[in-house]
Chains A and B, each alone.
Chain A
Amino acid sequence: MYAIEANKVSKNYFSEKSGKFAGLGNPIVRNNTGSKSLSDDKAAGVSFEVHEGEIFGIIGPDGAGKTTLFRILTTLLLADSGNATVNGFDIVKDYRAIRKCIGYMPGRFSLYQDLTVEENLNFFATVFNTTVAENYDLIKDIYQQIEPFKKRRAGKLSGGMKQKLALSCALIHKPTVLFLDEPTTGVDPVSRKEFWGILKNLKKQGITILVSTPYMDEASLCDRIALIQNGNFLKIDTPPNIINQYEKKLWAVQSQNMSQLLKDLRNNAQTMNCFAFGDAHHIGISNSQYKENELRSYLEARNHKSIEIRIIAPSVEDCFMELSQK
Chain B
Amino acid sequence: MKQLYSFIKKEFYHILRDKTTILILLLMPIIQIILFGFALTTEVRNTNVAILIPANDVLANELAARIDASSYFNIVEQIHTKSDIQAVFRDARAKLVIVFENDFSKNLMQLGVSHIQLIADATDPNAATSFSFYASNIIQNYQHDLAHQAFIPGTITPEVKMLYNPQMKGAFNFVPGVLGMILILICAMMTSIAIVREKEMGTMEVLLVSPMKPLYTILSKIAPYFVLSCVNFTTIILLSVFVLKVPIAGSFASLVFVSLLYIFVALALGLLISTLTTTQVSAMLISGMGLMIPVMLLSGMIFPIENMPLPLQLLSTIVPARWYIAAVKSVMIQGLGFSSILREVLILSLMATVLVAVSMKKFKVRLE
Q: Which residues of A contact B (CB under 8 A)?
A: 71, 74-78, 95-96, 99-100, 102, 104-115, 119, 122-124, 126-129, 169-170
The answer to whether B205 touches A104 (Cβ under 8 A) is yes
In the complex, chain B residues whose CB is within 8 Å of the CB of A113: 201
The answer to whether B367 touches A123 (Cβ under 8 A) is no
- Identify the 7 closest CB pairs spanning chains A and B, nearest first: A110-B202, A126-B6, A110-B203, A108-B202, A76-B367, A104-B209, A127-B210
In the complex, chain B residues whose CB is within 8 Å of the CB of A100: 211
Given known contacts A102-B209, A122-B6, is B18 in contact with A114 (CB within 8 Å)? yes
- B361 beta carbon closer than 8 Å to chain A: no
In the complex, chain B residues whose CB is within 8 Å of the CB of A105: 206
The answer to whether A75 touches B209 (Cβ under 8 A) is yes
Smallest CB separation, B129 vs chain A (Å):
46
Given known contacts A99-B210, A110-B203, A114-B17, is B366 in contact with A126 (CB within 8 Å)? no
Complexed CA–CA distance, A15 and B338 (Å): 54
In the complex, chain B residues whose CB is within 8 Å of the CB of A170: 206
- B319 beta carbon closer than 8 Å to chain A: no
Complexed CA–CA distance, A99 and B209 (Å): 5
Which partner residue on chain A sits nearest B13 by CB separation? A115
The answer to whether B210 touches A128 (Cβ under 8 A) is yes
The answer to whether A78 touches B211 (Cβ under 8 A) is no
The answer to whether B368 touches A124 (Cβ under 8 A) is no
Complexed CA–CA distance, A108 and B209 (Å): 15
A-B contacts at CB below 8 angstroms, number: 81
Given known contacts A76-B366, A76-B367, A115-B13, is B205 in contact with A123 (CB within 8 Å)? no
Which partner residue on chain A sits nearest B217 by CB separation? A127
Complexed CA–CA distance, A110 and B209 (Å): 12
Smallest CB separation, A250 vs chain B (Å):
40
Complexed CA–CA distance, A312 and B78 (Å): 114
Interface residues of B in 175-216 (CB under 8 A from A): 201-212
- B343 beta carbon closer than 8 Å to chain A: no
Smallest CB separation, B330 vs chain A (Å):
43
Interface size class of B (residues with CB under 8 A): 20 to 34
- B89 beta carbon closer than 8 Å to chain A: no
The answer to whether B3 touches A126 (Cβ under 8 A) is yes
Smallest CB separation, A54 vs chain B (Å):
21
Complexed CA–CA distance, A102 and B205 (Å): 13
In the complex, chain A residues whose CB is within 8 Å of the CB of B3: 126-127, 129
Complexed CA–CA distance, A70 and B339 (Å): 57
Q: Which residues of B contact A (CB under 8 A)?
A: 2-3, 5-7, 10, 13-14, 17-18, 201-212, 365-368
Complexed CA–CA distance, A76 and B366 (Å): 5
The answer to whether B211 touches A129 (Cβ under 8 A) is yes
The answer to whether A78 touches B366 (Cβ under 8 A) is yes
A-B contact pairs, 10 of them (CB 8 A): A74-B205, A75-B366, A106-B206, A110-B203, A115-B14, A119-B10, A126-B2, A127-B3, A128-B210, A128-B211
The answer to whether A106 touches B6 (Cβ under 8 A) is no
Which partner residue on chain B sits nearest A102 by CB separation? B209
Across the interface, B367 reaches (CB within 8 A) one of A71, A114, A115, A122, namely A71
The residue in B6, B13, B14, B206 that gathers the most chain A C-beta atoms within 10 A of its C-beta is: B206
In the complex, chain A residues whose CB is within 8 Å of the CB of B205: 71, 74, 76, 104, 106, 110
Given known contacts A106-B206, A114-B18, A124-B206, is B211 in contact with A99 (CB within 8 Å)? yes
Which partner residue on chain A sits nearest B367 by CB separation? A76
In the complex, chain A residues whose CB is within 8 Å of the CB of B7: 123, 126-127
Given known contacts A78-B366, A95-B365, is B10 in contact with A111 (CB within 8 Å)? no
Smallest CB separation, B252 vs chain A (Å):
38
Given known contacts A77-B367, A77-B368, is B210 in contact with A112 (CB within 8 Å)? no
The answer to whether A127 touches B212 (Cβ under 8 A) is yes
The answer to whether B211 touches A96 (Cβ under 8 A) is yes
The answer to whether B206 touches A104 (Cβ under 8 A) is yes
Given known contacts A108-B202, A114-B14, A119-B13, is B366 in contact with A127 (CB within 8 Å)? no
Which partner residue on chain A sits nearest B364 by CB separation? A76
The residue in A76, A99, A124, A129 that gathers the most chain B C-beta atoms within 10 A of its C-beta is: A76
In the complex, chain B residues whose CB is within 8 Å of the CB of A106: 202, 205-206
Complexed CA–CA distance, A76 and B203 (Å): 13
Which partner residue on chain B sits nearest A114 by CB separation? B17
Complexed CA–CA distance, A108 and B204 (Å): 12
Which partner residue on chain A sits nearest B6 by CB separation? A126
Smallest CB separation, B116 vs chain A (Å):
62
Smallest CB separation, A215 vs chain B (Å):
21
Complexed CA–CA distance, A126 and B212 (Å): 9
Smallest CB separation, A152 vs chain B (Å):
13
Smallest CB separation, A123 vs chain B (Å):
5
Which partner residue on chain B sits nearest A105 by CB separation? B206
In the complex, chain B residues whose CB is within 8 Å of the CB of A129: 2-3, 211
In the complex, chain A residues whose CB is within 8 Å of the CB of B209: 74-76, 99, 102, 104
Which partner residue on chain B sits nearest A108 by CB separation? B202
The answer to whether A112 touches B212 (Cβ under 8 A) is no
Which partner residue on chain A sits nearest B205 by CB separation? A106
Which partner residue on chain A sits nearest B18 by CB separation? A114
Which partner residue on chain B sits nearest A100 by CB separation? B211
Which partner residue on chain A sits nearest B15 by CB separation? A114
Smallest CB separation, A245 vs chain B (Å):
36
Complexed CA–CA distance, A42 and B327 (Å): 64
Which partner residue on chain B sits nearest A107 by CB separation? B202
